[in-house]
Structures are given as structure tokens and as C-alpha cells.
């Protein structure tokens, strides 16, 4: 099935509750074809040939249940933006250029980008903390393809990639975490510095550092050389468990503080949600994050964590314009977003004291 | 009448409406007694003698209708703080020390500080733009006292003062302005730079620069030497008229902008007002400023400009603790202030769209 945007409208599985910390897990493998120039060095005709061959292989691959092929150059800017906002394709791939595209299988959470920086970027996405499941699915996909192609591989270095930072395993595992407690207590930077020293990157999933919109953070490995895939995944799992504990303690401390800090935070969020005439995507995400915290703490009712989490994506510019069914300027989006948020969340209320 | 705090509880005359720009006018004259050491150089006994003589003169002075004497060292810290917040005494005078005090006459808006930096700081306060009336009242008070004392005066320099920056006229005239439109449009800094180049100081009445709490700014002269009192007052009046025009245009532009900028600003202010659990004094002042703007623009009902303006003072730490009838820590004040604001302004509502 070579398709337009209808299929991308399916929502990501929302197994979430308001109080949970781990939003999703993702692993990607960078792979290149033996004997073929990397996409950045290949001519247009060669890139197109690689694209045709790999997209055909992927569409026929038994591991994918209902694969959908997107050829970037056939998509309009809004469609590309929506795929990018869903983190199904990278900003680089969204720019297009002959012979670029992706195959997406919603049922398995598997996505393959073709002719991004490398010939293949195979990805597995899972809700919650499920690196092991993602890894197994990804290995099966990689092995399935390997029955038909040979990957560029060096016995000493491992898998060869366009950028030296990926040589070796070619694997980047990342976990998205919702850390409103640590952020509110101003402890994110301290935690980030500690993890950086251990060789892991922690950054805002949208926006940088302590400014991370929606308090969404992404933890990922930096090293791909000199460490096995299993060891990498094990270390990330360990770090995530520590972060979940720290975040839980932060939320607990916020509830126990001898001041209405949490009440104030959630109250203000609710006030701005109720009365702003314009909202940027970042502000909308911060509101969604605050409402989740409010639901968990019993201050907010009328929404569930899963819908709020899903709206983290639907408030993004591309998704929002699909919702509005027309192109909107940045200003028009901010105005539409404020009304959209209140419309979808019209049952949201503050409990108890005003 | 030598009194405690009861008399200071009288409110400043509130002739204001929500839309007005000029809040109040103030002129002060620095005067010292001929042949006496400046307060900072005088011994304790001499300071006390000057205090007794000047306070007696002031209490007997026919220009004052119902003068009240405050001797700083007899006041507790909260009483001093309230006088300071009302701008009736300076931070320096509030620190006390033998022989310091002030005489305040609410009916005429005249205040005299004794043994601050100079022996006498005579002040006239008026609501709105009324420099001329303030100046006439102040001259009469100055002349009345001069029938009994000789001021330190040099035929070449003019009035002599403890700090060289006041030598000459010893006069500082200042006008407090509410400039939420210019602040919201981000144009305050530009205007301030222009006025500074003309020899006038513009600063936040509470807080500095573009951070000025409650969008309250104070314009005052810097020069006291080589320019007459009348010329100084004329130039300040001219500047105030320009600022009133600029602010009016700013508010008009805000209403005409092709985006709901004003609606958004007032909406968010109302949201935080309705739902915050803690408010600093600066935040409370910004809320009062935003509500004034909302009333003027028809977005807010249920309060009048005069009460909102008066609350600019009553949300200050000292006033607030008098309201609470007990000492409060900074945190307790913030919590009390949020409830106090909603309590006093319980009729405030947003009009139209939610």
C-alpha cells in the first residue's frame, strides 16, 4: 500500500495514565548496503535505484503487518511536517530530495527511513518502557532484510555508517520521560549533568534543557563503538529506573512541601489554559504536562492521561493545521491552538478550592 | 496629635479611573538649618534638639490641617514598613536612629521628614497630574517655616544639602505613571532611553526597567543646579503629556492589532488571578495593572480603577500583614496575598468569551 496521510492519522498506542513517567521507547539501527555509496555521495540515479530496491524489500517483508510507503517528494509540506512531528521521519529526511522515503508499519511500531544519512534507518517505537520488545522486533526486521542484502560491515569496526558517531553497533536507543516533578523543583539540570558524565545524553524532547516543553525529556546512549547492543540497552534501562524513582520522589516531595507549590503550579496552568487567547506549541505542551500532574494529584478532573499525552502531538503545528483543515500562519495557529485545547478538553475542571 | 498607626490607615485619595495614565504627582524640597551640622555629621544630642524644634514648628504650622507626628524609634518594624510602602518616608528614614521622624498631614498631602539625609525633606503628594498645586502648597509650607528658621543657603549655589546632587533648588519632582500599553508592546526601554538623554530619570516605581511591577513608572528631574523650579516643573509636565499620549496610542494599537494580544494578556492575568495559590507583591501588582487594562477595554467587570489602584499599596508586605493582623513569613504572605486579592475582588469577572 503506497498511501497518503490517512494512515498517519492513526494515533500512537496510548497505554498511558496521568501519573506515569516513561512515555515511550525507541531504538534505531543505522545500516548501509555493501558496495554502494552512502546516500550523500551517491548520484541521483543510484539513490533512486537503492530507494526502489529497499522500499520493495520492506513492503514484502514478512515482519511488517500493514506497511505503508511514503515517498517524500510526493508529499506536500504539511504531510511531511506531520510525519516529522510524529518522530516517524527526521528533519533531514523531511527535506526530501530524490529517492527518499519511509515505510511505516503502525501495528508493529516499526519504521524504516530510506536514504536519509544512511541507506537504512530501521526504527522500533513502543509506548512505555519496552526496550527489550523493541529490540527483538528490530533484530527480526534487520535479519529479514539481510536475507536479501549485504550490510556494509567491518570485522574490526562493526557496521559502517555515513557519520563516524554511529559506526559500530549503529544503534541509538532512547526513552522519552515525563519529568514535571524534577523540572518544577529545578533539579533537571543537575540530573542531566550526572548522566552526561556517564556517557548518556539527556535533552528536551521538544526544546532544550530546563526549557523542555511539556517536561518531556529523552535519554539516549552516545557510544556505538566498544559496547554491545545488549550492554547499551541494559545501561539505559538502569538509568531510566533511576530517573523514574527520582521523579516519583520529586512528586512526593512536592505534595509534602509546607507550601502550596504544586497547587499553585497546577492552578496557574489551569488558569492560563482556561483564559489564554493564544498558545504556542510549547505552552500547550506545558499545560498538558501540568494537567497530567494535576490529575495525578487529584486537583484536576475530566481528562485521562492517555488523551493528554496524545495531544502532545496534536498541538504541534502540522497536526494542528490538519485539524483546522487549512494552512495557518504562526499567529493563526496560536489562536486556533488555544481554542482547540479548550474545545477538546472542555470537561477539564479544577476540584475543590478555587 | 502624636499618634500610632490608626491615622496612616487612611487611604490616599483615589480620584482614579481604570483608564487613566497619571497616578500621582510628588515634589520634595531638601532644606537644612543654617549653622547646624547635617544630620549625618551631628551628634545624637544635637539631632534630638533639631528634631524637637522642627517637629514642634511643623505641628504648629498653620498650613497643616491635621498634622500627625511619627517618631521612628517609637514605631515597630511593621509600622515603619507601612509608612515606607506608602512612600511617606524613605527606606533610609525607616531605619530610624535617634531624632528621626516625620509629620504627615493627610488632608493637604504634605509630609515632612526630619533628620533624614537633610534636616528637612518637605514633600507634597497629589493624586493625578497636579504639580502646580503641589508646588504652591509646598512653597507655602516652606515659607511658613522660614518665619521661624533660617535655611542653609549660598547666594551662588542655592540651597545647601548633604548630598551634592541636591544642591541648588533642592527640589525633586516626580510623577507616577501607569504604562501597561507601552510595557506590553515592549517599548518602555526605548522611551526611557530617550528621556534619560534629556536629563530626566524614568524608573520602575517598584522594581527596575521593563520589570517594573504593576507597570508603574516614575519620571523625575535629575538636575537641581542651573535650572529654576518653575522651568523644571514645566519640563516634567511636558514630558508627562508626551508619555500620556504615547501610552494612549499604545493602548489603541493593542486594541487594533490583528491578533488578540490584549485579550490574551488580560485573559492570562485573569486566569492567574483566579487560580494561583501564591502571589508575590510584584505579581499581584501586575494582576492589578492587567485588570485595570481589562476594565478600560471592556473585558473585565466588577471592580473600579480606584480600588485597584489603592490595592497596589495594600498588597505590599507591610500593609498585608496589617490586614492579616499578624506577622507573616515571605511564603505565608504570598499565600495570604493570593486569597486576599480574590477575596477583595470577588466580583471581578471576565465578560464575553471564556
Q: Which residue has the cell 509630609?
A: B111
Q: How many domains does chain A have?
A: 2
List the single residue in B268, B273, B276 with the smallest CB-CB distance to A276: B268
Same domain, A80 and A166: yes
Task: Answer yes or no: is B119 within a domain.
Answer: yes
Task: Answer yes or no: is A103 within a domain.
Answer: yes
Q: What is the mean pLDDT of residues A137-163?
A: 96
Query: What residues are paired with B176 via a beta bridge?
Result: B24, B218
pLDDT of residue A193: 86
Own/partner long-range contacts of B287-291 (Cβ < 8 Å, ≥24 apart): B287/B341, B288/B214, B288/B312, B288/B315, B289/B178, B289/B180, B289/B214, B289/B215, B289/B216, B290/B180, B290/B265, B290/B266, B291/B266, B291/B345, B291/B348
List the single residue in B263, B274, B278 with the smallest CB-CB distance to A271: B274
Task: Answer yes or no: is B256 within a domain.
Answer: no
Spatial distance between the Cα atoms of B327 and B318, rounded to a whole number of angstroms = 9
Same domain, A336 and A193: no
User: Which residues in chain A have Cβ-Cβ distances shorter than 8 Å to B342?
Assistant: 354
Same domain, B106 and B228: yes
Same domain, A91 and A17: yes
- CA distances in angstroms from A285 to A211, A214, A220, A289, A308, listed in the order given: 12, 4, 22, 6, 9
Q: Does A263 touch chain B (CB under 8 A)?
A: yes
Spatial distance between the Cα atoms of B89 and B105, rounded to a whole number of angstroms = 13
Give B276 to chain A, closest Cα distance, Å. Answer: 5
Give A170 to chain B, closest Cα distance, Å. Answer: 47
B278 and A272: CB-CB below 8 Å? no
A268 and B276: CB-CB below 8 Å? yes
User: Which residues in chain A have Cβ-Cβ distances shorter than 8 Å to B260?
Assistant: 277-278, 335
Q: CB neighbours of B102 closer than 8 A, spacing ≥ 6?
A: B69, B70, B72, B83, B88, B89, B93, B111, B112, B113, B114
Same domain, A138 and A214: yes
Q: CB neighbours of A140 closer than 8 A, spacing ≥ 6?
A: A63
Same domain, A136 and A267: no
Q: State the CB neighbour count (10 A cutoff) for residue B215.
A: 25
Confidence at B18, pLDDT banded by 50, 70, 90: low
pLDDT of residue B194: 85
User: Which residues in chain A have Cβ-Cβ distances shorter than 8 Å to B273?
Assistant: 271
Q: Which of A257, A261, A277, A299 to mutate to test the interface with B (most CBs of B within 10 A)?
A: A277
- Give residue-wise pLDDT tens across range B55-70: 999 999 999 999 999 9
Task: Please choose, from the candidates B280, B269, B278, B276, the residue with its C-alpha nearest in 3D space to the C-alpha of residue B303.
Answer: B269
Q: What is the mean pLDDT of residues B260-264?
A: 92
Same domain, A177 and A306: no
Same domain, A230 and A86: yes
DSSP tag of A151: B
B268 and A264: CB-CB below 8 Å? no
Domain carrying residue B207: 7-249
Q: Does B267 touch chain A (CB under 8 A)?
A: yes
DSSP, residue by residue, B71-121: EGGGS-HHHHHHHHHTTSS-HHHHT--TT-EEEEETTTTEEEEESSSSSEE
- B111 has a pLDDT exceeding 70: yes
Task: Answer yes or no: is A2 within a domain.
Answer: no
Same domain, B73 and B200: yes
Task: Answer yes or no: is A166 within a domain.
Answer: yes
Q: Does A274 touch chain B (CB under 8 A)?
A: yes
The CATH number covering residue B34 comes to 3.30.590.10
Q: What is the mean pLDDT of residues B125-130?
A: 93
What are phi and psi for residue A30, nearest 5 degrees? -95, 125
Stated as kind and residue range, the H or E segment containing B124 is strand B120-127
Confirm whether pTM is higher than 0.90. no
Q: Does A352 touch chain B (CB under 8 A)?
A: no
**Which ipTM value was assigned to this complex?**
0.79
Tell which of B215, B249, B283 closes a domain: B249
Please classify residue B323 by burial: count the beta carbons closer than 10 Å to its beta carbon, then call 0-12 exposed, 13-18 middle and 19+ buried: middle
- Give residue-wise pLDDT tens across range A167-211: 999 999 999 999 999 999 999 888 888 888 887 888 888 765 557
Q: Does B276 touch chain A (CB under 8 A)?
A: yes
Give A331 to chain B, closest Cα distance, Å. Answer: 8
Q: Does B159 touch chain A (CB under 8 A)?
A: no
Tell which of B249, B280, B307 closes a domain: B249
Task: Answer yes or no: is B354 within a domain.
Answer: no
Tell which of B221, B249, B277 closes a domain: B249
Task: Answer yes or no: is B184 within a domain.
Answer: yes
A273 and B270: CB-CB below 8 Å? no
The grid coordinates listed for A264 are 499553585
Bigger pLDDT: B15 vs A56: A56
- CA distances in angstroms from A102 to A29, A89, A279, B33, B111, listed in the order given: 14, 7, 32, 88, 78
User: Which residues in chain A have Cβ-Cβ distances shorter than 8 Å to B263?
Assistant: 277
Same domain, B319 and B234: no
Same domain, B241 and B266: no
Task: Answer yes or no: is B153 within a domain.
Answer: yes
pLDDT of residue B1: 44
A260 and B277: CB-CB below 8 Å? yes
Q: Does A1 touch chain B (CB under 8 A)?
A: no
User: Which residues in chain A have Cβ-Cβ distances shorter than 8 Å to B291?
Assistant: none
Same domain, A28 and A74: yes
Spatial distance between the Cα atoms of A239 and A249, rounded to a whole number of angstroms = 15
Stated as kind and residue range, the H or E segment containing A196 is helix A188-197
Amino acid at each position: 500500500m503506497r498511501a497518503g496521510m490517512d494512515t498517519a492519522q492513526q494515533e500512537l498506542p496510548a497505554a498511558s495514565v496521568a501519573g506515569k513517567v516513561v512515555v515511550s521507547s525507541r531504538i534505531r539501527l543505522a545500516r548501509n548496503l555493501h558496495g554502494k555509496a552512502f546516500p550523500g555521495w551517491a548520484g541521483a540515479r543510484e539513490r533512486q535505484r537503492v530507494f526502489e530496491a529497499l522500499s520493495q524489500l520492506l513492503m514484502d517483508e514478512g515482519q511488517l503487518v500493514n506497511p505503508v510507503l511514503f515517498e517524500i517528494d510526493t508529499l506536500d509540506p504539511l504531510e511531511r511536517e506531520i510525519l516529522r512531528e510524529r518522530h516517524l521521519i527526521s528533519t533531514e529526511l523531511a527535506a526530501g530530495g530524490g529517492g527518499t522515503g519511509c515505510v511505516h508499519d503502525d501495528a508493529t511500531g516499526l519504521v524504516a527511513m530510506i536514504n536519509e544519512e544512511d541507506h537504512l534507518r530501521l526504527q522500533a517505537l513502543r509506548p512505555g518502557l519496552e526496550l527489550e520488545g523493541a529490540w527483538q522486533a528490530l533484530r527480526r526486521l534487520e535479519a529479514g532484510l539481510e536475507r536479501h542484502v549485504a550490510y556494509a560491515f567491518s570485522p574490526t569496526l562493526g557496521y559502517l555508517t555515513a557519520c563516524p558517531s554511529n559506526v559500530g553497533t549503529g544503534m541509538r536507543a532512547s526513552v522519552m520521560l515525563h519529568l514535571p516533578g524534577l523540572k518544577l523543583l529545578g533539579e533537571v539540570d543537575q540530573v542531566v549533568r550526572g548522566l552526561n558524565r556517564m556517557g548518556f545524553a539527556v535533552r528536551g524532547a521538544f526544546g532544550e534543557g530546563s526549557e523542555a516543553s511539556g517536561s518531556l525529556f529523552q535519554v539516549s546512549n552516545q557510544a556505538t563503538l566498544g559496547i554491545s547492543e545488549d550492554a547499551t540497552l541494559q545501561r539505559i534501562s538502569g538509568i531510566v529506573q533511576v530517573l523514574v524513582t527520582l521523579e516519583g520522589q520529586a512528586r512526593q516531595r512536592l505534595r509534602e512541601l509546607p507550601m502550596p507549590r504544586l497547587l499553585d503550579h497546577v492552578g496557574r496552568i489551569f488558569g492560563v489554559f482556561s483564559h489564554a487567547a493564544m498558545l504556542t506549541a510549547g505552552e500547550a505542551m506545558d499545560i498538558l504536562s501540568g494537567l497530567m500532574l494535576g490529575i495525578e494529584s487529584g486537583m484536576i478532573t475530566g481528562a485521562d492521561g492517555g488523551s493528554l499525552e496524545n495531544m502532545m502531538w496534536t498541538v504541534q503545528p502540522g497536526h494542528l493545521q490538519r485539524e483546522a483543515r487549512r494552512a495557518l500562519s504562526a499567529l493563526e495557529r496560536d489562536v486556533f491552538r488555544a481554542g482547540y485545547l479548550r474545545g477538546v478538553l472542555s470537561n477539564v475542571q479544577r476540584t475543590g478550592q478555587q
